[in-house]
Amino acid sequence: MNSKLKRIGILTGGGDCPGLNAVIRSVAKPAMLYEGASVIGILDGFEGMVEGRMRELTHLDVSGIVNLGGTILGTSNKGDPFHYPEEGTDGIRIVDASHRALKHYADWGLDALVAIGGDGSMNIAYKFSQLGLHVVGVPKTIDNDLEATDVTFGYDSALHVATEAIDRLQTTASAHHRVIVVEVMGRYAGWIALGAGLAGGADVILIPEIPFSWDRVCEAVAQRKWGAKFSIVCVSEGARPEDGKIVVKESDVKRTDPVRLGGIGELVANRIQEKTGIETRVTVLGHVQRGGSPTAYDRILASRFGAMALQTLTRGEFGCMVSLQGRDIVTVPLKDAIARQRLVPRDSQLISTARAVGVSFGD
């Protein structure tokens, strides 16, 4: 081990997802058992780093957690140190509190930090690396929208939940000859809707990357009225019509990205029923996609990511993110990891496969 690396900090930032605890375990266990390092768990993500909340992890803390969803450290998507919300007499104001995080890093005697999170957390990690912190990032997000890795852990688990939901909704849609609209997460990337829609046998899939026509969506549903007599429409929360914008549920100034998406499913369901006369229902899966135990794939991927993160630290390689490329776990510079989002290409084989079996994308 790098002799200078005796105290390792670890945090989970942004939204929770299955697999976070598997990463914590695969960093902390070997660090303690074989490298003689102390592992400091920073509580509630970067917010805890600003506020000074941490505890030293023990062997017991990281035993028996590989199958647990959520995170034993807690997390926050409103704790960006460079865009930090502070309550005052005049309400909430946004400040740069990064100096407070840097002070706690020094006060805790940390030699390096493992930051587990999505694109927002990787952006924060990159900024801290530019300020001299020894940081290694681990990519997680159910949205699967980080370009620098083939897949993020959490995606497979969310995909499994969404697919099972569509399977269950198929039976009730068929029994009542209804259209059921299923709204799934994914923000500005359509990977969950595309994967779950294809695996679950959805008839219409609406994703952010392909703006849809109301007429074509309704035509696709109406045509099935004389055959199967029911339809499943899988809608990504970031999908939008050709002549419209994404549907925003609310705005939260405390977040770096203040937009909270939601509501497109209800809009689609109402328009379908109005135009076709077919009874239509909507199911919003919401946070159920982020909860529960990780799939075997995500447990293994998260464990591999964590193990590589520790190996990277011991090599003295910082300012990077671990990444799955092909069959191998490698590292990429954080700067490259945050360069752009991983969106569904219009020429994706998944899209062409879905079209080949009759799925409409409303275009």
Classify 319 as helix, strand or coil.
coil
Q: What angle do CA 66, 320, 27 make, to 5 degrees?
A: 25
Please say whether the beta carbons of 51 and 101 come within 8 A. no
Burial of 297 (0-12, 13-18, 19+ CB in 10 A): middle
* Beta bridge partners of residue 138, listed in sequence order: 116
Beta carbons of 133 and 304 less than 8 angstroms apart: no
Contacts of 60 (CB under 8 A, 6+ apart): none
User: From its phi and psi, is residue 218 left (phi > 0), alpha (psi between -120 and 50) or beta?
Assistant: alpha
143 is catalytic: yes
Nearest Cα residue to 71 out of 110, 101, 41: 41
Annotated active-site residue in 44, 61, 80, 143: 143
Active site residues: 143
